[in-house]
Structure 1
Amino acid sequence: MFSGAQVSLYPMTDDFVGVITGALAALDPYRERLRIETDDISTLIVGPPEVLFPALRDLFSAAAATGRHCVLSAAISRGCPGEPDDEICATPLLGGPREPLETRKDAALAEVARAPDKATPTAAQFSLYVMGTGDHMDEIYGCIDFLKRSGVFGRSKNFCTRLDGDAGAVFAAIEAAFCRFGPPEGHVTIDLTASANSPTPR
């Protein structure tokens, strides 16, 4: 299995370098279980979902704690047939037979309920893509049903779903969508944009 994300962080401030470099310290507790590679466009973060998503959450929350308008953009993928397996991505979350959809929805709701409070009001939109299966729309509709019951559902939008809530619950919901829907070892991707401290009124 290979799982990871290409991530870009955009603080809307003249001191964007300071905000980004300061926020990177939030990744320190996770570095031993992740492979991180940065270039001038994005940062690749490779590792198991149970480490990857908390790392993304804490990176975003640290940047948002500055009070500046911050946006995180990420392309997240697991099980891509074009990527080699990587031992660092080994996880008990992905593997074995696929449980019934209702069982997976209940597990996803429990994961959101356990999410830590990061004191970071967050707006996010994301799209879930389940690749290579004939029942991909069943999986996507199941995920949407879970999201509507998650406590962070904002609204449906064209091509994506909006979430609103604390960063802890929002990123837990996105992690659950990534891990609980689609074949356990199949190819699943997420296109994510998260925003905090936006000056734009709803």
Structure 2
Amino acid sequence: MFSGAQISLYPMTDDFVRVILDAIGALEPYRPAFRIETDDISTLLVGPPDQLFPAMRDLFVAAAGSGTHCVLAATVSRGCPGEPDDPICTPIGRSEHDLPLEDRIASAIAHAAAAPMTGQIVAAQFSLYPLGSGHHMDEIYGCIDFLKQSGVFDRSKNFCTKLRGDAGQVFATLSEAFLRFGAPEGHVALDIKVSANSPTAA
């Protein structure tokens, strides 16, 4: 299954080049499993769906560790019908889509709770788009139910849900939303913004 993310990192500092280049070093352990391409707008990560969010987490935590206000913007997708198959992409692991929605929610809660902590507090907002599914609203409502029990739920907003907490648990929660909700062979997309060290955190 084709899965990947277009990500852009925005450090709010005059020294943004150094912050970005230093943070990119955090992607080195993932390079054997990913195709990584960068242009003047974003960086493309294509690879196993269960490794996308750990890679984004490590990149963002490395940048935010500078103490600078940083924002990560990402569009994450799996199963896009307009994209070619790629040998480095694999089927979704532990998707458990043959289980009832309630059981998937319980599994997502357990996996998010077991996420390693990073010591970096972040805020995030995202929207889930399970495309091409006849029961897409059931999947969205199931995901919202999971988010409210994830331990990092902040509040519902217009068009999105806000999360706040340790980056480890926030990115794990985003990963669970991506992996467990929406048809396992269908097209699922997430629109994500993550912020750290904001001078106006609220």
TM range (shorter): over 0.9
The runs of 5 or more residues in structure 2 that have no matched partner are none
Partner Cα distance (1:112, 1:104) in 2: 12
**Correspondence 1:113 to 2:113:** yes
Matched residue, 1:152:
152
**Alignment match, 1:57:** 57
| 1:42-72 deviations in Å (ceiling 9; x for gaps) | 0000011221110000000000000000000
Secondary structure (helix, strand or coil) at the match of 1:89 reads coil
* Paired residue secondary structure (2:102): helix
Q: Deviations over 1:167-195 (max 9, x none)?
A: 00000000000010011111000000000
Deviation at 1:110, TM superposition (A): 1.1
> Greater shift after overlay, 163-172 or 79-88?
79-88
Report the Cα offset of residue 126 of structure 1. Answer: 0.2
Question: Matches of residues 52-201 of structure 1 in structure 2 within 5 Å?
Answer: 52-93=52-93, 98-201=98-201
Measured on the aligned residues, the alpha-carbon RMSD in Å equals 1.2
Structure 2 Cα separation of the partners of residues 201 and 193 of structure 1: 14
Cα distance, 1:201 vs structure 2: 3.9
Give the SS at the match of 1:66.
coil
Q: CA deviation at 1:86?
A: 1.3
- 2:174 alignment partner AA: I
Q: 1:89: how far off?
A: 1.2
One-letter identity of the residue aligned with 2:57: R
Is residue 123–residue 163 contact of structure 2 (8 Å, CA) maintained in 1?
yes
2:88 counterpart SS class: helix
The separation in 1 between residues aligned to 2:95 and 2:161, in whole angstroms, is 27
Q: Partner of 1:54: helix, strand, or coil?
A: helix
Provide the rounded CA distance (Å) in 2 between the counterparts of 1:186 and 1:102: 20
- Identical pairs, percent: 66
- Say how many residue pairs are matched: 202
Find the residue that maps to 2:17 and give its secondary structure: helix
The answer as to whether partners of 1:98 and 1:183 remain within 8 angstroms in 2 is no
Q: What is the Cα deviation at residue 94 of structure 1?
A: 6.8
Gap runs ≥5 in structure 1: none
Q: 2:50·2:179 contact (CA, 8 Å) conserved in 1?
A: no
- Alignment CA distance shift 1:83-1:103 (3 Å): same
Question: Who is 1:43 aligned against?
Answer: 43
Matched, 1:9 2:4: no
Q: Deviations over 1:140-188 (max 9, x none)?
A: 0000000000000000000000000000000000000001001111100
Residue 96 (structure 1) shift: 7.6
Structure 1 letter corresponding to 2:121: P
User: Structure 1 CA distance, aligned partners of 2:6 and 2:39?
Assistant: 11
Report the CA distance between 1:129 and its aligned residue.
Answer: 0.2
Distance change >3 Å, CA 106–CA 53, structure 1 → 2: same
CA contact (8 A) 2:105 2:142 kept: yes
Mapped to 2, the partners of 1:184 and 1:92 lie a distance apart of: 7
